[in-house]
Structures are given as structure tokens and as C-alpha cells.
Amino acid sequence: MDKITYRIKRFDGTREWFQEYTFPYEKNKTVLWGLIKIRDEQDPTLNFTSACRSAICGSCGVRVNGNAALACKTSLDELLEIYQTSTLTIEPLSNYRVIRDLVVDWEPKLERMKEVKPWLIASEEKDLSLGFIQSEEEFHKISNPTDCILCGCCVSECTQHSTNSQGFYEPFIFTKSYRFTIDSRDNAPSQHLTPSLEKGGLWKCVRCMQCVTKCPKGVRPADHISGLRKESMGLGHQQNKGARHAYAFYDDIRKTGRLNEMTLPLKTEGLTKTLSRRIPLALRLLRKGKLNPLHFPRPVQGIEGVRKIYRLVQKEERS
Amino acid sequence: MLNFDVVIVGGGGAGMRAALEASKEPDLNVVVLSKTFPTRSHTGAAQGGINAALAYKDPTDSIEKHFLDTVKGSDFLGDQDAIEFFVSNLPECILELDSFGVPFSRDEKGRIAQRPFGGASSPRTCYSADKTGHVILHTLYEQCLKQGVKFLNEWFLLELVVENEEFQGLVAMDMRSGEIHAINAKSVVIATGGFGRMYWNRTTNAFNMTGDGTAACFEAGIPVKDPEFVQFHPTGLASTGVLMSEASRGEGGYLINKDGERFMSRYAPEKMELGPRDLVSRAIETEIKEGRGIGQGINAYVLLDLRHLGEKKILERLPQIRQLAIDFENLDPIKEPIPIRPSCHYMMGGIHVTDFRTSSTPVQGVHAAGECACVSIHGANRLGGNSMADIIVFGKYAGLGAIISAKNRAPGDPTKVEKRTRYWQEHFAAMRQKTTGNKVVTIRDTMAETMWYNVGIFRIEKEMVHALHVINQLLEDYQDCCIGDTSQYYNMAFIHYIETGNLLKLAKAVAMGAIARTESRGSHAREDYPERDDRNFLKHTLITKTNGQYKLDYLPATITKYQPEERRY
């Protein structure tokens, strides 16, 4: 291959179009290298943001062939190998308002991030001039979430946020919420957590793991969402659909080793809601022979093994 | 016309630390103006750590030892009263960061962990793995959100309006709308970072480290102090200049040449790899020059070997370094040594600060902190771990200084600021329409190449005079540029045109200061004057622009306690 083509989505404030740029291939280069080459040598009107070119400032998140990536650390050779093509489509991150070309608007995201109070709330009695004692183990808990560089790659590909942006936080906001909820130096975990539960749609994550696989820094927002769910139940938020749904799974599996889909909606939504909402669906399922109301699942073979796992996990958690 | 009491230009560590301090004053209207979104600032790229004599790791460490190390590191050019103030304030400032929520790595007693660093007689560099700057930057941003600090993000400083040595206000562009605004204020803190991009690709700096604030102050008649002192970091990745933290040597990494020899034994037999940066960079360049490097010319390099540290230590203490080597040099340091070469890293020089307690400049109402400024605490060579320390201490005191100025000063004269605003509006309009002229990128690349080859690690009069000549020519070419973008909105071509102009103005000061200093001190290594000359040069360079001319002056360095002696490591 001796040439590469970028097909770049442009936007000038009113008009949107795709524009192609071709330049000579070089080995061991990054997506950002190509963008800079185009801007320096072909078209000074092409706009994108970049700064550190070493994957720490979070400026250069873009979409390459439909996948969010940090342009500075994404190897061209790898992409050309994966896609078996010399043409790459480059677009701004999804789920952001575009300002110009590949430049997106961060302000609304950060306004929203403020809801989880993304700052340390120390005890008022604490003498702050002395600093804190925090164990190495406690530090390790906040190490992964504090790797977040606010690049927005997780937001761009989040399945839930893409269809429900108002009802579901950007994944990095959950990461912030989690980080302060569990920081041993923080004295007000529920102030960071409750907004995720009440406004952020904490239980709506579908665990597609896009946020984890797209994160250029190895941050795991989906795990932080799980962590927040667990913390929320620990803080007494057990009477919501999400928590009841989780408990239904937990109980069913312990009891029989499999899920009882007949009782799942009852346990999750309660009798009234199930009756008013689920009856038509249940009837349709019955008609197709996909639901048997007379079936009460017996414990699966090897149920003792399942229960042993439960006991082991409980023991692990206690220690 | 926008009105504020205090304007802070720059949303990095120094700027946000200043903002936290200034905005504690409820009666003052404070705003931070930043050309990028704050967490994109270059503070985030600092890796290894931040110095403070907390004496956790080494109970024999003390403020006094940190003081002496810094004086010695500066090759005796640092002002000792300022250094003493600096090191004395650090322990408190670090604990303050802890209370802000900075996730520091911890020792076995749960206290902030500390590691050894170059030029330090005790391990006193506090860290968070190898992403210390990143976590400090984000924590400061969080604290600003908590305190409700106002931000004008993606606003670009165009001019500092000063008349009769009094600050009047500033002119800045809202990059998104392309509107150029007059900003009236009582005081300003300049915190715009360094200007290492005058070496364009041979730097560890981010693309936007173009010295906008330093150049604006310089244009407004405030001197640039000690510009010739440019730090070259020993361990930039060979192919891209991306930084490999000093922590890699602090944790025990070796530097080896093509014969597999730990060559530092020739240059710093006692400290070895943990010598100060100026010395280690020269050692590497000498190895390459004398044929013991690998490869040829600008592509030559030596190796940074971490393999003997073992996988566990590398993953725990240097995870980012490892990832950077994998991403940018295509190798895993657990298995292979890393090709490195010195890269321009830090500007010891900058805006002339006259009172370190308030970070004031000679112009009333103008304060400056961080890499854009020169107090001077770093003198001729900064120690690793002292730059984040610098922004935390002097950012804070710049904030306090700006409060004092704002309380004692009336707002500037709006007619003067508006007049300059109209000039910039017309200039922007004209540049958007202009269809012929020199390419900004060509000017920038010529400048960078000229600086790297002629005002680099080793310097000699003839080459530097040649560089000065080229820079002067480029300054002329710059008068007739074509930016090539007619857009009103987010016109990065225009911004880059201004940035390149800023770099050029400062590059000329670097070259002038370097030619005039006929001695070798710290990072300034003259092949034609290899010795330090305390009799003639124990003094700071001051370069001032008046009526378009660069004027050279000197100011004695402040010596309080430690008389200059030979620097040995």
C-alpha cells in the first residue's frame, strides 16, 4: 500500500459533508499523524482538537470507521490490517453536539457531571492541614476510575446513552460518581451516588461493555456502574426495580440454579404493575408455547455446586 | 466589554490553583480564561511526581536539604530567598492537595508515597503511579467546580493592554463564535505554561505550548528573564519525543549505549542515572556524538533499560510509561529496552516575576505563575518534581497577589482596551480575507529546525548567530502570512498563526540570551565557553521589548546562604 485516504466528516456550522484526502503511507504512524499531515500540507481549514499526543489530555477522541478512538494512540497499521482497506472514515464523536468538523462541545456534559458532586467531600471535623491516612488497598480501589481522561470515547459508543441520552448518564459520569462514593477519604458517599440512581438511570446499563472496550486508558465504567449498584443496595436502596430485579436473579439461581421467568416480573415490578403491563405479553407468549404457567422449575443437576459458589463468595466478602 | 475583578489566563495547574485562592474572596468576580478545556492542559502530562520534604520515605530528609538540592540543581542561579520560601511552603501545599482529594500512591503506613528523583539527596518526590500531573490537574478542576469558579473555555488571549506601566485589561477571542472581546479587570494572573514548541517536533510538550501569555507580557513591555535556559529532558522517545518520566530512572532504570555499557559512570559516578537532567542529557548527546549511540544523525538514540525492575514493579509503578512505549515505540519495556533521546522539555525562563510572595511582575496588576513565569527558583536547571511543586506554591500565591491587586486598584481604562479590541477585530477580518502570503507551517518548521540545530543542547557562537539571523528573517516573513481559512467559527488556522508568532518572538529572546551568556551554566552548555563564570554571569538575563527593539539587561542573582561551588554528582 502506498497511499491512505481519510474520508472526513466536515461541518462548518450549517453545512455537513464528507471530504476525501489522500496522502502517502508511512509505517508506524497514528490516526492523529494523518490528521495533522492533512491540516499542515493540504487543508488548513480542517479542524480537530489535539494537544499532548501521548494519550493523557483527552482532546483527540474521534470516530474511525464507526468506532470511537483516541486519534493520537491509534495505530494506522493496525486499522489498515483490521479493515483491510486504505480508506478510513473519520467522524466526530457521537452523542455530542458538533462545533466544527471534528470538534465537539463538552460544556453540557460537564454541567451534567456536576450533579454527582465530582469532588471530595471530607468530614467537617477533619483537620485538612494534616492530609489523610489512606491504605494502599483503599488507594487501589480509586486507581482505575481516576485514570479517566475525559476523552468521551465511552459516551460515543454507549448503547443505552445513544437511545436514551436524557435518562442515562454518560459512562464517565458514573465513573466519577463511583470514584467519590468509594474514596475512603470521602464523608458523603450518598451525595455522589444518589444522583446516579435517581437521575442517571443506574440500573439501565445493558452491560454491552462498549465503554470498557472503547476506553483508551483501560478504565472500566461498566464495572463502576456495577460497583455503584452494589453500593446503592448497601446504602439501603433496595426497593427499586433494578435492585429487586437483581435480587430476583440472586434468589432464583441459589434456589434452583436457573431463572424462573414466570415470577421474575412479579418480583421486579410487583403484582399490580405486572398485571397491568405484562398480561398481553404473557398471553402472546402462552399462545406461542413459550410460557408454561404450570411449570415450576426444579433445582438443576449440580445445584450443590452452585450453592457452594454462593457460600464461597459470601465468605470472601466477609473476610 | 466584559468586566471582572480578577482574570486568570490559563486553565492548567497554576491557573486553577490561583483561581481556587482568588475565588475564596466572595466580593471578587473571578474568571479563568483557557484556550482549551481545562483538563486538556499540559499539567496533565507531568508524570513522575511533585517534591516536598515530608520526610516520610526518608526521616533524615528536611526542608534544608530540599533547599540546598534546588540551589545546587539551579547551578547557583536560582534566587535563594525565593527557593527557601518555595521549599518551606511545599509540605503544607501537598497536604492541601491530599485534602482536595488527589489520589496519591500510599506507603505502608497509609501516608503519601515518595520516590527518588534526579538531583535529590533524599527520596522526596510524592507521586500517584506515573500519572501524578493528570490526577492533580483533574482534582484541581473538581475543586474549581465545587467552588463554582467561572470558566471561559476555548477563549484565546490576544493582547495584554498595558499603558504607563499599569494594567488596563485584555483582548481575547471566543474561539467558537470568533468574536473578539474587550475584557476589563483590576488584576490578571498569567498562567499559560511553557513554550517548548519553538523546537516543534523535538519536544515533550503538547502542540499548544506556545507561550501565549509570556509573549503577550513581552509585547506589553514586561521583560523575559533567563530565556536561554531551556531544559532538555534526557528521556524522550526516540521517534516522537513523547516523555518517558524521570520516574523510570527514579525507580532504578539504566541508561545504556550501543555496547550495553551504563555510560553514566563516566559523567556522574556517584548518582549515575539519577544525575540532574542537564547533566544526563549532555551525557547522552556526548555518547551519540562519539559514536556510541545507535543509529545516525537526528535519528540516533541510546537505550533506557527497565527490564531488571521486573514485571511487577513496572506494572505497579510505571504503567503509563509501559503503555506509551507499547503505543508509540511498538515495544514492551518489560521485555525490551526503550530507544530514547533528549527532547526540549521545560523553559526555566519566562515572565520576569519581581516579588515571589505575590507572583507580581514589574507592571502593577499583572501576576504570573508556573512555567510561563520565571521567579527564579529553577535558575539554570530545574530539578525533576519541582515544576508541579512550582505551580502549586506560586499558583496559590499568585491568586493571593491578584486579590491584593484587585482590592487596591481601579479597573483599567475601557477606551484603551476597546481601541485595541477594534484593532484585533480588523486584523482577524483581514487575515480571513487574505489569499496570498507565506505559509504559517513553513515558518514554524523552519524556526524549529533552526532552534534544534543551532540553539540546542550544545551551543556555539557561530551557530547561534546564524539562528538569530534566521529568526529575524522569519519575523519579517511572518508579517506577510496567509492563514488559508476564511471561517469566523473555530478558526484554528488563525489561532495557530498567532501561536507561531508568539513562539518566534520568544525564540529570538532565547537566541539573544544564549549568545550573550558567554559561559556554561546548568542547561546552557557553550562549547566555546565550557566553564561557569561566576564573576561575570552570576546574574539573570532580562530581555525587554521597547519600541520594537529587543534590549538586553542583567540582574544579580540573590545569594543568601549557599555560596557557589563546583557542582558534582
User: B10-33 burial string, b = 16+ CB within 10 Å, else e?
Assistant: bbbbbbbbbbbbbbebeebebbbb
Residue B113: closest C-alpha in chain A:
A136
Interface test with A, best of B41, B205, B328 (most A CBs within 10 A): B328
B112 close to A (CB below 8 A): yes
pLDDT at B217: 98
Same domain as A163, residue A264: no
Q: Which residues contact A8 (CB under 8 A, 6 or more apart)?
A: A18, A19, A20, A21, A38, A46, A89, A90, A91, A101, A102
Show which of A68, A103, A138 is a domain's final residue. A103
Q: Are B146 and A131 within 8 A, CB to CB?
A: no
Same domain as B206, residue B102: yes
Same domain as B431, residue B456: yes
pLDDT band at A272 (very low <50, low <70, confident <90, very high): confident
In a domain, A225, yes or no: yes
A132 close to B (CB below 8 A): yes
**Whole-angstrom distance, CA of residue B197 vs CA of residue B233:** 14
In a domain, B78, yes or no: no
User: Distance, in angstroms, between B139 CA and closest chain A CA?
Assistant: 7
B:260-319 residues touching chain A, CB 8 A cutoff: none
Cell numbers standing for residue B62? 528536611
Cα angle A298, A301, A304 (rounded to 5 degrees) comes to: 95
For residue B299, the one-letter residue type is N
In a domain, B568, yes or no: no
In a domain, A248, yes or no: no
Residue ranges of E strands in B139-245:
150-153, 155-163, 166-174, 179-184, 187-190, 224-225, 230-237
Q: Are A122 and B95 within 8 A, CB to CB?
A: no
B:358-397 residues touching chain A, CB 8 A cutoff: none
Tell me the average pLDDT across A59-85.
96
Q: Are B120 and B383 in contact (CB under 8 A)?
A: yes
A135 close to B (CB below 8 A): yes
Coil, helix or strand at residue B161:
strand
Predicted interface score ipTM higher than 0.90 = yes
Same domain as B155, residue B40: yes
In a domain, B83, yes or no: no
CA dihedral B23, B193, B505, B174 (to 10 degrees): -50
In a domain, A243, yes or no: no
In a domain, B82, yes or no: no
CATH number at residue A201: 1.10.1060.10
Same domain as A296, residue A215: no
Same domain as B487, residue B358: no
Residue ranges of E strands in A35-193:
61-64, 67-70, 87-91, 98-100, 103-104
**What 8-state DSSP symbol labels residue B118?**
T
Q: Which residues contact B349 (CB under 8 A, 6 or more apart)?
A: B224, B225, B226, B227, B228, B229, B230, B374, B510, B513, B541
CATH number at residue B325: 3.90.700.10
Phi/psi of residue A30, nearest 5 degrees:
-115, 170
Same domain as A48, residue A86: yes
Interface test with A, best of B36, B106, B392 (most A CBs within 10 A): B106
In a domain, A200, yes or no: yes
pLDDT band at A107 (very low <50, low <70, confident <90, very high): very high
Q: Are A56 and B242 within 8 A, CB to CB?
A: no
Domain of residue B426: give its range. Answer: 416-540
In a domain, A249, yes or no: no
Q: Are B92 and A129 within 8 A, CB to CB?
A: yes
Same domain as A111, residue A81: no
pLDDT at A266: 85
pLDDT tens series, chain B, 569 aa? 999 999 999 999 999 999 999 999 999 999 999 999 999 999 999 988 999 999 999 999 999 999 999 999 999 999 999 999 999 999 999 999 999 999 999 999 999 999 999 999 999 999 999 899 999 999 999 999 999 999 999 999 999 999 988 999 999 999 999 999 999 999 999 999 999 999 988 899 999 999 999 999 999 999 999 999 999 999 999 888 889 988 899 999 999 999 999 999 999 999 999 999 999 999 999 999 899 999 887 789 999 999 999 999 999 899 989 999 998 888 999 999 999 999 999 999 999 999 999 999 999 999 999 999 999 999 999 999 999 999 999 999 999 999 999 999 998 899 999 999 999 999 999 999 999 999 999 999 999 999 999 999 999 999 999 999 999 999 999 999 999 999 999 999 999 999 999 999 999 999 999 999 999 999 999 999 999 999 999 999 999 999 999 999 999 999 999 999 988 88
Domain of residue A35: give its range. Answer: 3-103
| Closest by CA position to B373, among listed B209, B214, B544 | B214
Q: Which helix (H) or strand (E) holds B482?
A: strand B481-482
Q: Are A48 and A103 in contact (CB under 8 A)?
A: yes
Same domain as B191, residue B96: yes
Coil, helix or strand at residue B442:
helix
| Closest by CA position to B378, among listed B395, B397, B391 | B391
Same domain as A225, residue A259: no
Same domain as A90, residue A8: yes
A:31-60 residues touching chain B, CB 8 A cutoff: 40-41, 43-45, 47, 49-59
pLDDT at A221: 98
Same domain as B164, residue B21: yes
pLDDT at B57: 97
In a domain, B272, yes or no: yes
Same domain as A185, residue A119: yes
Q: How many CA atoms lie within 13 A of A137 on its CB side?
A: 0
Q: Are B1 and B417 in contact (CB under 8 A)?
A: yes
Q: Are A51 and B493 within 8 A, CB to CB?
A: no
Coil, helix or strand at residue A314:
helix
In a domain, A239, yes or no: no
- Cβ neighbours of B312 in A, within 8 Å: none
Same domain as B186, residue B145: yes
* Count of residues making up chain A: 319
**Whole-angstrom distance, CA of residue A172 vs CA of residue A152:** 8
Residue ranges of E strands in B306-398:
338-347, 350-352, 366-368, 373-374
Show which of A103, A135, A150 is a domain's final residue. A103
Cell numbers standing for residue B447? 524556526
| Closest by CA position to B86, among listed B373, B350, B378 | B378
Distances (CA, A) of A191 to A198, A234, A237, B176: 11, 14, 13, 34
In a domain, B116, yes or no: no
Q: Are B308 and B344 in contact (CB under 8 A)?
A: no
Q: Which residues contact B236 (CB under 8 A, 6 or more apart)?
A: B202, B203, B204, B242, B243, B244, B340, B341, B342, B343, B345
Cell numbers standing for residue B307? 527490564
Which of A100-104, A288-292, B85-89, B167-171 bottoms out in mean pLDDT, i.e. has the lowest?
A288-292
pLDDT band at A129 (very low <50, low <70, confident <90, very high): confident
Tell me the average pLDDT across A84-96.
97
- Cβ neighbours of B323 in A, within 8 Å: 55
Show which of B344, B364, B383 is a domain's final residue. B344
Same domain as A276, residue A171: no
**Catalytic-labelled residue, pool B277, B317, B382, B459:** B277
* Count of residues making up chain B: 569
A:175-234 residues touching chain B, CB 8 A cutoff: 180, 183, 185-186
pLDDT at A172: 98
Cell numbers standing for residue B96? 492541601
CATH number at residue B482: 1.20.58.100
pLDDT at A16 exceeding the cut of 80: yes
pLDDT at B500: 98
Show which of A234, A264, A292 is a domain's final residue. A234
B467 close to A (CB below 8 A): no
pLDDT band at A224 (very low <50, low <70, confident <90, very high): very high
In a domain, B123, yes or no: no
B446 close to A (CB below 8 A): no
Residue B104: closest C-alpha in chain A:
A139
Beta-carbon contacts below 8 Å between A and B: 153
Residue B351, Cβ neighbours under 10 Å: how many? 30
Coil, helix or strand at residue B230:
strand
| Closest by CA position to B208, among listed B30, B435, B44 | B44
Bridge pairing between strands A87-91 and A61-64: antiparallel
Q: Are B174 and B152 in contact (CB under 8 A)?
A: yes
**Whole-angstrom distance, CA of residue B372 vs CA of residue B217:** 10
Cell numbers standing for residue A283? 398471553
Cell numbers standing for residue B530? 565550557
In a domain, A250, yes or no: no
The minimal CB distance from A128 to the residues B99, B135, B487 is found for B99
- Cβ neighbours of A38 in B, within 8 Å: none
pLDDT at A128: 80
| Closest by CA position to B323, among listed A55, A198, A117 | A55
pLDDT at A264: 86
For residue B444, the one-letter residue type is R
Q: Are B328 and A128 within 8 A, CB to CB?
A: no
Q: Are A134 and B106 within 8 A, CB to CB?
A: yes
Interface test with B, best of A52, A104, A136, A215 (most B CBs within 10 A): A52
- Cβ neighbours of B129 in A, within 8 Å: 143
Same domain as B187, residue B105: yes
B:226-265 residues touching chain A, CB 8 A cutoff: 239-240, 242-243
Same domain as A114, residue A74: no
CATH number at residue B160: 3.50.50.60
Residue B277 designated active-site: yes
Interface test with B, best of A27, A41, A46, A119 (most B CBs within 10 A): A119
DSSP annotation string for B272-317: GGGS-HHHHHHHHHHHHHTT-SBS-GGG-BEEEE-GGGHHHHHHHH
User: Distance, in angstroms, between A57 CA and closest chain B CA?
Assistant: 4
Same domain as A176, residue A73: no
Same domain as B305, residue B423: no
Same domain as B353, residue B279: no
In a domain, B559, yes or no: no
- Cβ neighbours of B134 in A, within 8 Å: 56, 149
Q: Are B400 and B85 in contact (CB under 8 A)?
A: no
B:205-224 residues touching chain A, CB 8 A cutoff: 206-208
Phi/psi of residue B275, nearest 5 degrees:
-70, 165
Show which of B288, B313, B344 is a domain's final residue. B344
How many Å from the N-terminal Cα to the C-terminal Cα in chain B?
55
Average pLDDT, chain A: 94
- Cβ neighbours of A55 in B, within 8 Å: 323-324, 327
Same domain as A129, residue A221: yes
In a domain, A74, yes or no: yes
**Whole-angstrom distance, CA of residue B569 vs CA of residue B563:** 17
A73 close to B (CB below 8 A): yes
pLDDT at B175: 97
**Whole-angstrom distance, CA of residue B551 vs CA of residue B542:** 8
Counted domains in chain A: 3
Same domain as A67, residue A55: yes
Counted domains in chain B: 3
Show which of B370, B388, B412 is a domain's final residue. B412
**Whole-angstrom distance, CA of residue B309 vs CA of residue B96:** 33
For the four alpha carbons of B241, B242, B246 and B249, in that order, the dihedral sign comes to: negative
Distances (CA, A) of B319 to B127, B136, B213, B341, B504: 13, 17, 34, 21, 37
A136 close to B (CB below 8 A): yes
Q: Are A54 and B485 within 8 A, CB to CB?
A: no
Q: Are A133 and B109 within 8 A, CB to CB?
A: yes
Beta bridge partners of A61: A70
Same domain as B309, residue B213: no
Same domain as B525, residue B382: no
pLDDT at A28 exceeding the cut of 90: no
Q: Are B110 and A103 within 8 A, CB to CB?
A: no
